[in-house]
Amino acid sequence: MTVVSMQTIAGKPAGPMRRALGRFFSNRAALVGLVIFVPMLLAVVTYPLWWPYGPNAIDLTALNKGPSAKHWFGSDGVGRDVLARLLQGGRTSLMVAVVSVAISTVIGFVVGAFAAFGGRFVDGISMRLVDLAMTLPPVIFLLVLASIAGTGIAPTILVIALLSWPVLSRMVRARLLELRERDFVVAARGMGAGVGHLLFRHGLPNSIDIIVVYATLQIANAVLLEAGLSFLGLGIAPPEASWGNMLNSARSAAVLEHFPWQWMFPGAALVLTVLAINFIGDGLRDAFDPRSDLN
Amino acid sequence: MLIYLLRRAGVGLLMLLALSVLVFLLLRLTPGDPVSAYINPSAPISPEALAELRTRLGLDQPLPVQYLAWLRAALTGDFGYSIQRGGAAVLPLVIERIGPTALLMGCALVIAVVVGIATGIVSAVRRNSGLDVALSVIASLGVSSPAFLTALLGLYFFSVLLHIAPSGGMLTPGVPFSFGDLFAHLILPACLLSIGYLALIMRYMRASLLEVLNQDYVRTARAKGVKEFWVIVKHATRNALLPVITLIGSTIGVAIGGAIFLESVFNWPGMGLLLVNAVNSRDYPVIMCATLIIGACVIAVNLLTDLAYAAIDPRIQVAS
């Protein structure tokens, strides 16, 4: 989609997608976000090609050593390289975030769509469920769910996915309720379009902007949730590396006091990533909002 | 107004009931037999004794019956017994944790509201200045850094490097109670807890004030020759505060979430620490009771915010 809309056809006025991209690339904060995020993503994905240490490889000559030319970010209590663990942790954290957001986006869209198209009864039931899910602080729900699901990558993905769909479903519902009354949808219905056609030919393209923005911002949120869970020892369990469980090691006073590189680097990576994704998400939101041209 | 109040309270109660059903079901869905929590794993137990125990605990009944039995007991204040803490009654265990958490959150909230609104005003009035940009960047950092990370950093700088704050707990053990001691333990976690919330309030205050400053009545006030200071304070800020009040109510959950991490880093004896420990040791009666009490607090705060909003904003007519 990006490639197509980037092509300019002489004399043709720019389409909405192209104008949105133009707005996105003229947004300074969003560009900063990209400049931070893209190299980080590249490093996380390609690190086994250029970094000599594995996340669980043990170097007995370097126990709790500070940053050096050999281990750029130092090493931990059993001689594992902190940079390698940080990069592997980034893989885990981003993977958990992306997969859980993908699942919750699907749930959110489907629930929102059913609430909007399924009649008053379905609408009432599903929106009360959403109300209920939004009553409790997310972290509390997270704890309750985590106590049931246990630790590990799959349960963590499940817990975060189950937690984050309600807000999206409400936004999708609002958009589709409005869309339902529009002439082209009424016409499609009149011509006998089924629910599937209505949802995926009309509903999805017309709510793609909220879905993209929501999903982007929610990835940042999911990274934080995963880190929080792992920090409390309820998310990704060691020896698997994640930013949260690397920070968890700082709960021991010795690590906190004497080996700050073991938790400060993952902490910084976490904040930078979340900040960058938030900037990108805010940029996308402004870019998709046609009113923002007026300001 | 009274009818509105009663209806809202009724809805709140229903939500609480639904919440209890949800949590009850979730905790019953856990893998493993709930009865196993009550037996000593190292002592052998005969199948008959196991069946008898199951009957005594009511675990052989269908789920709705179990729920109603639990609800009946809960309404009389009997939330069962902690599995982990040698069978202590759950309710007093949870109740005694409310005070410390309320203290911590209250202080953090006051700091966040006062500082957040003040910096938000400064940021909006001096918009696009260096100060505004700096404050916005700090706010973005504040929103993006999780509570446990700010807690760790705060602990590292103020307790480990500078030695000016105690490293955890609420009171120094073995020392008679004094407010100075409590304050010394309170100030660091409260400030750290307020950061995320403060950043949120600041952003909202800035956006809301900028919107209000474009209104006609502000232009009128300026045209009348009202001093800029009074335009900001009396005309603009009062109206700009309205959305911020809703924000405070609707994001109280964020603050509770942050409090859980702060309590667990600083060993603060509050609800969050209790809940985290209970989750770690799968102490389900405690999880259930703590969750419900937190849920009740959130519902109550939301109700209060709505009422405060209606009382402050004369444009809102409460339909009765």
Q: Does the pLDDT at position B43 exceed 70? A: no
- Please choose, from the candidates B29, B96, B277, B290, the residue with its C-alpha nearest in 3D space to the C-alpha of residue A136: B290
B167 and B241, same structural domain?
Answer: yes
B201 in a structural domain: yes
- Chain B CB contacts of A274 under 8 Å are 144-146
Cα of B278 to nearest chain A Cα, Å:
9
Residue B273: domain span? 91-312
B97 and B20, same structural domain?
Answer: no
B86 in a structural domain: no
Superfamily of domain A31-53+80-284: MetI-like (1.10.3720.10)
Dist. CA A166–CA A147, nearest whole Å: 21
Which residues in chain A show pLDDT less than 70? 1-14, 62, 66, 69, 71, 135-136, 290-295
- CB contact B299 to A (< 8 Å): yes
- Of B22, B252, B254, which has the smallest distance from its Cβ to A132's Cβ? B22
Dist. CA A102–CA A245, nearest whole Å: 23
B297 and B239, same structural domain?
Answer: yes
Say if the ipTM goes beyond 0.85: no
B203 and B253, same structural domain?
Answer: yes
B319 in a structural domain: no
- Chain A CB contacts of B30 under 8 Å are 147-148
CB A263, CB A250: distance < 8 Å: yes
Instruction: Please give, one letter per residue, the 3-state secondary structure of chain A.
Output: CHHHHHCCCCCCCCCHHHHHHHHHHCCHHHHHHHHHHHHHHHHHHHHHHHCCCCCCCECCCCCCCCCCCCCCCCECCCCEEHHHHHHHHHHHHHHHHHHHHHHHHHHHHHHHHHHHHCHHHHHHHHHHHHHHHHHCCHHHHHHHHHHHHCCCHHHHHHHHHHHHHHHHHHHHHHHHHHHHCCHHHHHHHHCCCCHHHHHHHHHHHHHHHHHHHHHHHHHHHHHHHHHHHHHCCCCCCCCCCCHHHHHHHHHCHHHHHHCCHHHHHHHHHHHHHHHHHHHHHHHHHHHHCHHHHCC
B101 and B226, same structural domain?
Answer: yes
- Chain B CB contacts of A124 under 8 Å are none
B308 in a structural domain: yes
B128 and B31, same structural domain?
Answer: no
- Please choose, from the candidates B171, B159, B148, B124, the residue with its C-alpha nearest in 3D space to the C-alpha of residue B258: B148
B102 and B43, same structural domain?
Answer: no
B13 in a structural domain: yes
B306 and B180, same structural domain?
Answer: yes
CB–CB contact A143 B294 (8 Å): no
CA distances from A164 to A222, B18, B137 (A): 8, 19, 27
The mean per-residue pLDDT over the stretch B185-211 comes to 86
Q: What is the pTM of this model?
A: 0.81
Q: Does the pLDDT at position B64 exceed 70? A: yes
B100 and B67, same structural domain?
Answer: no
Q: Which of A172-186, B57-71, B124-138, B224-238 has the lowest mean pLDDT?
A: B57-71
B63 and B25, same structural domain?
Answer: yes
B317 in a structural domain: no
Phi, psi dihedral angles at B194 (to 5 degrees):
-75, -20
Residue A7 confidence (pLDDT): 47
Give chain B's domain count. Answer: 2
Exposed / middle / buried, residue B200 (Cβ in 10 Å: 0-12, 13-18, 19+): buried
Average pLDDT, chain B: 79
How is residue B121 written in tokens? 């005003």
- Chain B CB contacts of A263 under 8 Å are 152
Interface test with B, best of A148, A223, A272 (most B CBs within 10 A): A148
The mean per-residue pLDDT over the stretch B292-309 comes to 82
Q: Does the pLDDT at position B320 exceed 50? A: no
- Chain A CB contacts of B252 under 8 Å are 137
Q: Domain boundary residue among B45, B74, B103?
A: B74
* Residue B303 belongs to domain with CATH number: 1.10.3720.10
**CB proximity under 8 Å: B 216-255 to A:** 252-254
Phi, psi dihedral angles at B123 (to 5 degrees):
-65, -40
B301 and B171, same structural domain?
Answer: yes
CB B190, CB B263: distance < 8 Å: no
B290 in a structural domain: yes
Dist. CA A107–CA A160, nearest whole Å: 12
CB–CB contact A140 B291 (8 Å): yes
> At B173, is the pLDDT very low, low, confident or very high (cuts 50, 70, 90)?
low
B156 and B14, same structural domain?
Answer: no
B288 in a structural domain: yes
